[in-house]
Amino acid sequence: KQEVTQIPAALSVPEGENLVLNCSFTDSAIYNLQWFRQDPGKGLTSLLLIQSSQREQTSGRLNASLDKSSGRSTLYIAASQPGDSATYLCAGVSSGSARQLTFGSGTQLTVLP
Amino acid sequence: SQTIHQWPATLVQPVGSPLSLECTVEGTSNPNLYWYRQAAGRGLQLLFYSVGIGQISSEVPQNLSASRPQDRQFILSSKKLLLSDSGFYLCAWSVPRARGSYEQYFGPGTRLTVT
Subunit contact A51:B59, Cβ cutoff 8 A: no
Amino acid A97: pLDDT: 65
pLDDT at B53 over 70: yes
Q: What is the mean pLDDT of residues A12-32?
A: 91
On whether any CB of chain A is under 8 Å from the CB of B49, the answer is: yes
Residues of A in Cβ contact (< 8 Å) with B92: 44, 101
Residues A54, A21 contacting (CB under 8 angstroms):
no
Measured CA to CA, the distance from residue A74 to residue A77 in angstroms comes to 10
Q: Flag if A99 and B94 touch (Cβ within 8 Å).
A: yes
pLDDT of residue A76: 97
Q: Which of A30, A44, A57, A66 to mutate to test the interface with B (most CBs of B within 10 A)?
A: A44
Q: What is the pLDDT of residues A30-45, one digit of tens each?
A: 888 999 999 998 999 9
B74/B78 Cα distance (integer angstroms) = 14
Contacts of A60 by beta carbon, 8 Å cutoff, 6+ apart: none
One-letter identity of residue A38:
Q
Report the distance separating Cα A9 and Cα A6, nearest Å: 7
- A52 CB-contact burial (10 Å; exposed 0-12 / middle 13-18 / buried 19+): middle
Amino acid at B80: K
With an 8 Å Cβ cutoff, are B32 and A45 in contact?
Answer: no
Q: How big is the CA angle at B29 (ends A98 and A91), to the nearest 5 degrees?
A: 35
H helices of chain A, in order, are none
Q: Given pLDDT bands bounded at 50, 70 and 90, which one contains residue B2? A: confident
Task: Indicate whether A101 pLDDT > 80.
Answer: yes
DSSP B20-57: EEEEEEES-SS-EEEEEEE-TTS-EEEEEEEEETTEEE
Question: Per-residue pLDDT for A52 more than 90?
Answer: no
Are B49 and A100 within 8 A, CB to CB?
yes
Mean pLDDT score of chain A: 92
Is the pLDDT at B100 greater than 80? The verdict is no
Is B111 in contact with A101 (Cβ distance < 8 A)?
no
- What is the DSSP code (8-state) at residue A62? E
Nearest CB among B32, B44, B99 relative to A103 is that of: B44
pLDDT for the residue B5? 95
User: Does A34 sit within 8 Å of B104, measured CB to CB?
Assistant: yes
Element (H, E) at A63: strand A62-67
> Rounded mean pLDDT of chain B?
91
